[in-house]
Amino acid sequence: MKHGKKYTNALAQVDRESLVGVTEAIEKVKALATAKFDETVEIAVRLGVDPRRAEQIVRGTLSLPAGTGKTNRIVVFAAGEAAQAAREAGADEVGADDLVAKVAGGFLDFDVAIATPDLMGKVGGLGRVLGPRGLMPNPKTGTVTMDVARAVGEFKGGRVEYRTDKIGNVQLRVGKVSFATADLVRNVHAVLDELVRAKPSSSKGRYLLSVTVSSTMGPGVKIDPARARDVEETLTSATA
């Protein structure tokens, strides 16, 4: 992939072999963000798992303490009272057979899909459309539930889904460059704590293999996995 001059200049300011603490990494990412828009800050974590084994797929949801800086567009597959509750909670699209048909026809302008259990038989037919995009509702992520109003509220308020890809990476948005350093640090720690909590019992050896943060248009900055969860040291330096 060919990069522009700004990216090349920013890359020259990053030691690709150096491993730093969370606060230093966030400060470097913020300093190197030169785009004219408020860039998204992302974290990429390589886990010591084998995602080819079903029991080592790491997935779930978590709430970022400082939010994501983005309001998710949410669709809800529901009927009756549950559909009305979803609408009142602020869902962007709500429906049953009509929404299934709309998605099957190519509608994918949303970030999260939620469904009531009784409609999963029909939503399951959208697997080829929703699955590859990570949008298929799943009980493990709280997106198959009768309490759709609560789920909509949580995902509108900063709750995010995560899942290992085919090589064991988890990538998540943790905020915007405009966020205070301390807020981004708290979000990073929330992600790492959640991933460690979700560690499969069958995963042996090193688990956090690598941790990298970057902005939309900037280069990645590597965090030392051994220091990444040192909350006291990190937050002290972030608020100093």
Kindly list the structural domains of the chain, giving each domain's residue range(s) and its CATH number in brackets, ordered by start: 13-68+160-239 (3.30.190.20), 74-156 (3.40.50.790)
Interatomic CA distance for residues 43 and 100, integer angstroms: 33
Chain segment 80-115, per-residue pLDDT in tens: 999 999 999 999 999 999 999 999 999 999 999 999
| 238, pLDDT greater than 60 | no
| 156, pLDDT greater than 80 | yes
List the structure tokens of 123: 């939503």
Which of 59-63, 99-103, 123-127, 169-173 has the least mean pLDDT?
A: 59-63
| Radius of gyration in angstroms for the set of CA atoms belonging to the chain, rounded to a whole number | 19
**What pLDDT shows up at residue 157?**
83
List the structure tokens of 40: 């998204």
Confidence class for position 228, pLDDT limits 50, 70, 90? confident
| 9, pLDDT greater than 80 | no
Which residues, other chains included, contact 47 with Cβ-Cβ below 8 Å and sequence gap of 6+? 58, 164, 168, 169, 170, 195, 203, 207, 208, 209
**What pLDDT shows up at residue 115?**
98
| 239, pLDDT greater than 50 | no
Mean pLDDT of the region 189-194: 95
Tally: H helices and E strands in the chain: 9, 9
Of all residues in the chain, the percent with pLDDT exceeding 90 is 72
Interatomic CA distance for residues 95 and 72, integer angstroms: 18
Mean pLDDT of the region 211-220: 93
Q: Which residue has the higher pLDDT, 193 or 233?
A: 193
Interatomic CA distance for residues 80 and 85, integer angstroms: 9
Chain segment 18-75, per-residue pLDDT in tens: 899 999 999 999 999 988 999 999 999 999 999 999 999 999 989 899 988 888 899 9
List the structure tokens of 62: 């978590």
Interatomic CA distance for residues 94 and 217, integer angstroms: 34
Contact 214, 221 (CB under 8 A): yes
Contact 50, 56 (CB under 8 A): yes
Give the Cβ contact number of residue 111 at 10 Å.
19
Confidence class for position 233, pLDDT limits 50, 70, 90? very low
* pTM for this entry: 0.75
Q: Which helix (H) or strand (E) holds 25?
A: helix 22-32
What is the DSSP code (8-state) at residue 54?
Answer: G
Mean pLDDT of the region 168-193: 95
**What pLDDT shows up at residue 34?**
85
**What pLDDT shows up at residue 235?**
46
List the structure tokens of 138: 């799943």
